[in-house]
Structure 1
Amino acid sequence: MKQTLKYWMVALLLATTAWSGYAQTKNEMDLSGEWAFQTDVMDFRRGSLDVRYCHRLQESIVLPGITDDYKIGYKSPYRHLDRLTRVYEYMGPAWYQREIEIPADWKGKRIFLYFERTHWLSSVYVGKDEVSKIDYISVPHNHELTQWLHPGKKELITFCIDNRYQYDTHKWDHAHSEFTQINWNGVLGEIKLVAVDPVYMDDVQVYPDVKNKSIKVKMAIRNCTKNAVKSNLTFRIKGEKYELQKEVPFNTNDSIAYIEEEIALGKDIRLWNEFEPNIYTLECKLTTPIAKQSYIHEKSTTFGMREVGESEDHILINGQPIHLRGTVENAVFPKTGYAPVDDASWERVLRILKEYGMNHMRFHSWCPPAAAFRMADKLGVYLEVEMPMWGKDAQPDEKRWNFFRRELRAILKEYGNHPSFILYCNGNEITGDFNFIEELTATARQLDNRRLFSGSTARTRVKSDQFYITHQTTKGHMAIYEGRPYTNWDKNKELGVGLPIISHESGQRCVYPNFEEIKNFTGPVQARNFEVFRELLDKNHMLDQANDFFRASGALTAIEYKDVIEAQLRTYLKAGFQLLSLNDFTGQGYAPVGILDPFWNSKGLITPEKWREFCAPTVALLRFDKRALYNDEVFEAKAEVYNYGPSVLKNAKINWSITNSEGKTLKSGKMKSRTIGKDGVFPLDSFSYALNSITEPQKLTVHLSVAHVQNSWDIWVYPRHDNPMQSTDKVLYTNVFDEKAKQYLADGKKVVLCPKPSKVKGRKSVFHNHFWNPIMFKWAPMTIGCLIHDDQPVFEHFITSYHTDWQWWDILENAKVIEMKDAPAELRPFIQVIDRYDNNEKLGIGFEAKVNKGSLLVLAVDTQKNIKERPATQQLLESIDIYVKSDKFNPQIAVEESYIESFLNK
């Protein structure tokens, strides 16, 4: 529970008395609760450990928690465009203090102060002496305080958390960036003192042997008695309807001993994978009789019976190929400002992931807390983990390199037993000395064979790579960022390079921000950038269209993701893909590329059920060459099925049908039932449909069902229009705004102006939304789809929704975007291009206006280039022709001739 920071003197009284409010088991003391507190921006306290140190801290804070929750730090007046705005910024040392009575019965024990998650350097002081400091980012801090604590006495324990950068590391890595989770100061999760007997287990690692149905337990046992000891180890393994026990004697003269023990598990042991995530608990009890007493230490860990391997193209789980359908987790947690450490939060996120048919999560340049691993183990989600390493971090710097060397070992030790942890990569898009990256990767392989290792994402490969996440192979560019107006394509020819390849950061198509989300940012960060974007939209007289822009761009993004993911699935040589990302990314320019918002809530763009039609363990696929066809053509398609489900599809029924917009079946058919294998992409039969019975423009839907799954694709069918746009004495079609056009308008007639795109000042028009975000990447298109005013009569004979779909491909790819900021505020184009959200100007491809006494319709589309091969463009022109030659064409908003001339090249 959050509490307001207290500044009154009662804090001094609390700090000078022994704390009695902790919960305590025999060997653990919970230290959560109130602590005395002090900030130290100038870092004076650490350098002044003389008599001035003896004063007690005057403020208070409740742990676990972070300083932001107590409004500590600089209150930011800014509105950052490229990220969320941290309301209270604090970076520097912060001090926490409490006087604690150490239990008398802890005499002779080893005593540790444990912080589950902190950020970045923690230093512990007993009295005035600094006795321990740890600078891990990815794992808990466990400080041994044995020689400085005196059981039966009160001890003043002070610790400092310093969230400044301890090494010259990349400022964007997601472990401590202001761009994603904030660079918080505090302690999260468990905070406790732990006492253990002087003979104890320091480490327990479990190595499954699937073939022999056994495990090898590797242990490090510390003997702090300075004597030879004879101990007994008891192993108890528990699972659902399973229990096994084994006892082993253990003797050592050393201060630290390493042992390995094989334990046969029997025929009833069950494997772990995404479909059957069977978890077992290993309980270890070390009993050491010494003189008249007995030292006892108990330690437990969970594990799953799974082995990870690789073939030339795929990752293997228990010898079976898997295909990773994943998203990138960028530490985006705006509600808290930090990655949660509780099971419930991670269970929610990972259940949503699986609801959307996905089985994999990459942790981009950070390692999650234990709760993420626990819930991934439970739910059957495959994890790829990275260190806080990015970009230049491989450039020579021995202090930084040593930090990464330690961090790597700590991650493998802390989380190595989790079966969900199948992949490790050092970091993101690394540059620098790849001899160092090879050193890390080779070392990791020597330390731990329970997972696969890779040097870096999307950059130079190293010798020890066992998989590779990239957009480029030696055979060509294999990333898939956008869809195409046909489905008969894949990226197989760019693959087959000798190790599993995972597609790097796929998708990334922008959705216009949803300003309704602003009110949801109630934590330590606020979406003040959204406020700026909204004000720009209001300034440009389009605030009333904000939700329409969000819906239209979002619909296009959902369409693109379907095509991107299906292309990934058709690429049978690929080991998987990672979207960037399923939810919005709040930093590096703010990238609203998700179908979920930053809180993992649906944006209402597509349901999980509909998403799973094209992203799931088993997916029906269809290859065809066109989405827009003439009615004298034949639609031809070849069926496939992607099946990485738990079993083969025995005697699978395969059906197809084609329906019209009213749901009426126009044609259907059955393919021969067959048994379909698993762990691959399997070709089925072809089918065709002659479109000559379609006499009017129609959107048709092609359906394919294979066994228990179904999928569908829209196609558009049009009659041919060989001679569209014929001028009359009342209607002039022209591609130049010349004297003839002006005279028609002066005489009160109608003009349709279709200038060649090369003659229009403005922006490049493309079908796709902008990539990633326009603040970070300033490349075309600097637009986010189109809002189609489909209720206007100009579209009466052109089938469209309020957003662009694949029938718009050839129209938009042969158009130019007119910049319309100087048009009257009330003038809205009927094909309205959505500008980037940090600019928000009015843009259009088609609009109509009153000029002089006449009526003008402008369409900045090439109406000549390959026009006979562009059925959708022909139909749009036909619809315009019918419209302008009718009484319905009567624009009311007037513009001057000079405005038309302003966007045309002379």
Structure 2
Amino acid sequence: MGENYYVPEGSHESFHPVLNVIDSECIKVNETKVHPLTAPSLIFSDVINLPSTTEISKKGQFQIDKGQKAHLSRVYPFTGKCYYRRRFSLPEDMTSKGLKLILERTKFTAIYFDGVLVSESYETLIPQEHILSRNATAGEHEILIAVDNHLTEYKDFPACLYNGHQFTEHTQTNWNGIMGRIYLESCQGIYEANFRLKNTGTLQNYSIEAIVDYTGATGKAEFTVDIKELGISEAYQIVLQEGKNYFDFELQLPETVHVWDEFHTNLYEVSFGITKDQVGLISQRLRTGFLKVMTKGRKILVNDKKIFLRGTIDCAIYPLTGAAPMTKEEWLKIFNRMKEYGLNHYRFHSWCPPEGAFMAADELGIYLQIELPFFAAAFTGEEGNSKEGLVTKYIYDQAVKVIDTYGNHPSFLMFAIGNEMTGELEAFDKVLAHLKTIRSDILYSQGSNNFLETPVYGTEDQYWITMRTAMGGNNIRASFSHGDLPLGHIQGLERLGTNISYENALLEVNLPIISHEIGQYETYPDINEVEKYTGVTRSTALELWKEKIKEKGRIDKCGDYLKYSGALAARCYQEDIEAIIRTEGMSGFQLLSLQDFPGQGTALIGILNSFLEEKGVVSPEEFRRFCDARVLFAKLPYYTYLEGDIIPIEAGIFNYGEASMPDSGFKISLMVEGAEISNVIKDVTAPTGQLTKLPIVELIVPKLNGPAAATILLTYRDLIKEYPVWLYPSVTKGNKDAYITSELNAAALSKLEEGKNVVLFSDSLPDSIEAGFTTDFWSYPMFKSICESKNRKPAPGTMGLVIDNTHKALELFPTEKFASWQWQQIITKAKPVILDKEEEYQLIVEVIDNFERGHTLGLLYEKKYKNGTLLVCTADLPKHLEVPEIRQLYFSILNYV
């Protein structure tokens, strides 16, 4: 609907004023607060169509921060007061009753009805309800809404909330406007009502709590509950008194009720009503599902069945609108996208979504975790008007309101106070104990990865989200920043296989454990993505990077950098997830995230881009091979073997699907050079809600005609899983005539003068840098700065390889075009050379640098030198010939020379 709006001059980051300067504060007329902007002679000269934000509607100055690299830049930034006015006619059937205005989502507001200040609200997480009149009259009226998003101007708003994703510039921005549903509601004596429908321990037993704010004469009334699909129609006699009324009723569901979970999204319409003197005072309809939630040891149970949370997090990244979607239809698209990748869980990182998100999750069977907008804030429990006291007030007030507003949704499974908070553990415990008295059918936690440097959970925590279970160790994910040592196993120097799991990290813990923000493997940017920012934000960081790479004349390489860094990132995500699902006792994980994060230094860590579009990294079908309700897995000691080696394979079935999988043969095969070496384990049953681990099977690597890329293939019923392995001859011959050196000394130069070929193996050449096997963690510039502030060594910052796998130097070293597992030992022993100033060289294996530095890095390259040819390998392979893959690459290079 079209709404007039006006912004006074002097507002923060102000628009050009539409009118002359007007005092934005109220003046008193006959002791009633009247706003000068409501004067009849005042004309608002612009119009905005609500729901919207000032930025979506392009109201204000076009102003982009071209130098912004930390996060997206707003196109029409505005912080301050904006006034929205609407005149309307109230029909007769809404008169002589109370009149409420509901704004589903906005910022701090002051509401003027016919020129008089009637209501103020500081609600930003739940809908605002404003009583305009308790005895409305028919005819023409005017509403003026003052929306102020300069929130720290208000004494009850803790400034630390600006770090949370409800408000931060790094994600959805701190917009001004009114979003979602905007409507008037007539009231008949009841102006506020909250109905809690709560499970009380069994699938059939529920309670109904009604909290009703009543204005009128004390008297008898009737409270009704109807669930027509279940044949339930209950009436309870109550007495309504002036003010707040509290009622509590028992509700018994029939045996025929169908429960709600991720596989069965059974929803019922529940109607509540209160009638007094044969007049209906209030009626509400609720679409909900029935379920029982509890924990048992390290497991979460829904309807007495163990579940496993395969989750991602939502950081409110909506770059086209700068504000979260409000409709169920929009959220259905988002959650269906998540389900394509095998996910059943969604964590809202330091923010609370609107009603539409809960409705969509109810329909699709997505388990939600909601958080208050705290990110890295301290909570001590201190009361009063100090900074800490404001935090305490906010937590107690807003936690209850969020739970009351959205707690009837079956998808609302979990609640946490915030993200990576610190403070006093006892203060968190006290809050959780209080929340359990309000709703005991939601699971509560102090927060996500709270006390991250000294991991600890409280006595009231019902689950624990953490990245490690002990101070300085016991990791339960595969990758970390160099500012959060120790690193994960996938980032280490040890030779990798698929045999890592985290049982030892769980030994001292007896509540469900969820691995915090796993992954964070950055991919190279898509150079065309900057063109997609056509809405309220611009990715100025990517624009700056694109210009930088153009200046270096390397724009043509960006497609390969994205493709091959992405291919490696996908392999890393698989190992990160599988290490968790093959761990007995884990309850789930939360990715950070399936989607890129364009803030905090520009962290392109998603399988999907910021617009939830595929980046070509890995298809949904491939992703579900290792991330789904049912997954096969195998523990392998290594990825590389010699002919005659025995490969011990401990396979297993991760089954958290709808049902158990009955007897069937489990086949394990080694596929090599067109041949199959296999073993079948007969009569395997995989019960739901657990891991089924199979006996170790040993397969022997056959006699080879040469080095081979092979596959370990697992099949069980309709499931399939493949692991790449590389097999090498036990004896490898190289070119004995090649001249090998570790430095360009006089002898090597002499050989080159003679026109000979020289091979240089060295990890200590000038202008060389450290390399890492995995792609860079999160964002190189952000964590480089953090490491420097802690006097720690920054991460290598590299992002995989681009490999010319048709080059003769790699003829005896089977490889794809990206860095797969057989390169891990080579890269960790390499220091690639910066080739930015080199000329006339041929790259055979290039290390991809992060886009902040943008170097050309050579791991294996050749160039004409004097009269000969110099082949440079920046990994000192001769020192490590006991490692099969290193020895094979070494002899492949010599064979070429």
How far 1:258 moved relative to its partner?
A: 1.5
Match of residue 491, structure 1, among 502, 506, 528: 502
Q: Of 104, 113, 121, which aligns to 1:116?
A: 104
Give the CA deviation at 1:141. Answer: 0.9
Q: CA deviation at 1:871?
A: 1.5
Alignment of 1:160 onto 2:150: no
Q: Matched residue of 1:685: which SS?
A: coil
Q: Distance in 1 between matches of 2:11 and 2:240?
A: 49
Q: Tell me the distance in 1 between the aligned counterparts of 2:3 and 2:145.
A: 14
Match of 2:678 among 668, 671, 677: 668
- Corresponding residue to 1:685 among 695, 699, 703: 695
> Which residue of structure 2 lines up, in the alignment, with residue 899 of structure 1?
none
SS at match of 1:68: coil
Which residue of the partner structure matches residue 462 of structure 1? 458
Work out whether 1:132 is the aligned partner of 2:115: no
Post-superposition offset of 1:721: 4.7
Aligned counterparts of 1:521 and 1:245: Cα–Cα separation in 2: 52
TM-score norm. by structure 1 comes to 0.89
- Residues 398/102 of structure 1: CA separation in 2 closer, same or farther (3 Å cut): farther
* Structure 1 residue 831 corresponds to structure 2 residue 845: yes
Do residues 355 (structure 1) and 340 (structure 2) align? Answer: yes
Task: Give the C-alpha shift of residue 724 in structure 1.
Answer: 4.6
Equivalent of 2:739, from 732, 743, 751? Answer: 732
**More off after superposition, 332-341 vs 421-430:** 332-341
Secondary structure class of the residue paired with 1:354: helix
**1:41/1:281 Cα in 2 relative to 1: closer, same or farther (>3 Å)?**
farther
Aligned residue among 620, 643, 646 for 1:631: 643
Could you say which residue in structure 2 is the equivalent of 1:237?
Answer: 227
**2:485 matched to 1:471?**
no
CA distance in 2, matches of 1:188, 1:235: 31
Q: What is the distance in 2 between the residues matched to 1:740 and 1:222?
A: 94
Go from structure 1 to structure 2 and tell me whether the alpha carbon gap of 1:42 and 1:49 turns closer, same or farther (over 3 Å shift). farther
User: Is 1:775 matched up with 2:781?
Assistant: yes
Match in the other structure for 1:438: 429
Q: 1:462 Cα shift? A: 2.7
**Counterparts of 1:284 and 1:816 in 2: how far apart (Å)?**
69
For residue 321 of structure 1, give the secondary structure of its aligned residue in structure 2. Answer: strand
- TM-superposed CA distance for 1:526, in Å, is 1.7
In the alignment, the residues of structure 2 paired with residue 393 and residue 125 of structure 1 have an alpha-carbon distance, to the nearest angstrom, of 37
Residues 40 and 92 of structure 1 are in contact (CA less than 8 Å); yes or no, is this contact kept in structure 2?
Answer: no
1:760 touches 1:816 (CA, 8 Å); kept in 2? Answer: no
Looking at structure 1, the residues matched to 842 and 275 of structure 2 have their Cα atoms a distance apart, in angstroms, of 80
Q: Distance in 2 between matches of 1:316 and 1:86?
A: 44
Which of 27, 46, 57 does residue 70 from structure 1 map onto?
Answer: 57
Q: Deviation digits for residues 9-38 of structure 1, max 9, x if unmatched? A: xxxxxxxxxxxxxxxxxxxxxxx3333333
SS in 2 for 1:83: coil
Deviation digits for residues 201-234 of structure 1, max 9, x if unmatched?
6111111246251322111233211x12222233
The one of 566, 583, 592 equivalent to 1:580 is 592
Residues 97 and 187 of structure 2 are in contact (CA less than 8 Å); yes or no, is this contact kept in structure 1?
Answer: yes
Aligned match of 1:305 in 276, 287, 290? 290
Structure 2: distance between partners of 1:295 and 1:343: 29
Is the aligned partner of 1:607 residue 2:619? yes
Question: Which residue number corresponds to residue 482 of structure 2?
Answer: none
Letter in 2 for 1:350: F
* TM superposition shift of 1:333: 1.1
Residue 547 of structure 1: CA displacement?
Answer: 0.3
Q: Which amino acid aligns with 2:373?
A: P
Question: What's the CA shift for 1:775?
Answer: 2.1
Go from structure 1 to structure 2 and tell me whether the alpha carbon gap of 1:190 and 1:750 turns closer, same or farther (over 3 Å shift): same
Write the distance in 1 (CA, Å) between the matches of 2:646 and 2:283: 72
Partner in structure 1 of residue 182 of structure 2: 191
SS at match of 2:862: strand
Distance 1:160 1:375 in 2: 31
Mapped pair 1:537 → 2:533: no
User: Which whole-Å CA distance do the structure 2 matches of 1:39 and 1:182 have between them?
Assistant: 22
Q: 3-state DSSP class of the match of 2:780?
A: coil
Partner of 1:88, secondary structure, is: coil
Q: Does 1:510 align with 2:522?
A: yes
Which of 808, 817, 829 does residue 814 from structure 1 map onto? Answer: 829
Q: Does 1:843 align with 2:843?
A: no
1:119-145 C-alpha deviation (Å, 9 max, x unpaired): x21211224433211112211111112
- What are the superposed Cα offsets for residues 559-601 of structure 1, whole Å, 9 maximum, x if unpaired? 1111111111011211111010011111111111111111111
5+ unaligned residues in a row in structure 1: which ranges?
A: 1-31, 885-906
Match of 1:747 in 2: 754
Give matches, 1:50-65, under 5 Å. Answer: 52-53=36-37, 54=39, 55-65=42-52
1:700-739 counterparts in 2 under 5 A?
A: 700-721=710-731, 724=734, 726=736, 728=737, 731-739=738-746
1:326-341 correspondence to structure 2 within 5 Å:
326-341=311-326
Opposite residue 476 of structure 2, the aligned amino acid is M
SS in 2 for 1:712: strand
Distance of aligned partners of 1:40 and 1:499 in 2 relative to their CA distance in 1, 3 Å threshold:
farther
Whole-angstrom distance in 1 between the partners of 2:162 and 2:661: 49
Following superposition, the deviation at residue 285 of structure 1 comes to 2.4
CA distance in 1, matches of 2:779, 2:393: 35
Q: 1:52 to 1:317 in 2, by over 3 A?
A: closer
Residues 473 and 40 of structure 1: CA distance in aligned 2, closer, same or farther (over 3 Å): farther
Residue pair 1:327, 1:362 contacting (<8 A) in 2 also: yes
CA RMSD, Structure 1 to Structure 2 (Å): 2.0
Query: Which of residues 871, 876, 885 is equivalent to 2:889?
Result: 876
**What is the percentage of aligned positions where both structures have the same residue?**
29
Cα distance, 1:705 vs structure 2: 1.5
Q: How far apart, CA to CA, are the structure 2 residues paired with 1:445 and 1:412? A: 10
- CA–CA separation in structure 2 for the residues paired with 1:432 and 1:57: 48
Compute the displacement of 1:199 (Å): 4.0
Residues 207-286 of structure 1: pairs in structure 2 closer than 5 A: 207-209=198-200, 211=202, 213-225=204-216, 227-239=217-229, 242-286=230-274
Of the structure 1 ranges 40-49 and 777-786, higher mean CA displacement relative to structure 2 is found in 40-49
Partner of 2:90: 102
Q: Which of these residues, 365, 371, 374, is aligned with residue 386 of structure 1? A: 371
Displacement of 1:722: 6.0
Deviations 1:796-854 (A, max 9, x none): 22211111100111111111121122112x64521111111122111111111111111
- The structural deviation recorded for 1:413 is 0.7
> Alignment length, in residue pairs?
837
Unaligned runs of 5+ in 2: 13-21, 29-34, 381-386, 452-456, 480-487, 785-793
SS in 2 for 1:193: strand
Q: Distance in 2 between matches of 1:104 and 1:764?
A: 77
Specify which of 411, 415, 418 is matched with residue 420 of structure 1: 411
* Partners of 2:728 and 2:888 within 8 A in 1: yes
8 Å CA contact 1:49–1:128 kept in 2: the answer is no
In structure 2, do the counterparts of structure 1 residues 157 and 659 end up closer, same or farther at CA, with 3 Å as the change threshold? same
Q: Which of these residues, 705, 708, 714, is aligned with residue 698 of structure 1? A: 708
| Contact 2:131 2:191 (C-alpha < 8 Å) held by counterparts | no
Change beyond 3 A, Cα 1:435–1:675? closer
- Contact 1:762 1:816 (C-alpha < 8 Å) held by counterparts: yes
The 2-side partners of 1:386 and 1:648 are apart by 34
More displaced 10-residue stretch of structure 1: 394-403 or 313-322: 394-403
- CA drift at 1:47: 2.1
Q: 1:346 matched to which residue of 2? A: 331
Letter in 2 for 1:34: E
Q: What is the aligned counterpart of 1:47 among 17, 25, 29?
A: 25
Residue type matched to 1:476 in 2?
N
Distance in 2, Cα, partners of 1:828 & 1:880? 15
Separation in 2, partners of 1:636, 1:295: 72
Identify the range of structure 1 (51-60 vs 360-369) with the bigger mean alpha-carbon deviation: 51-60
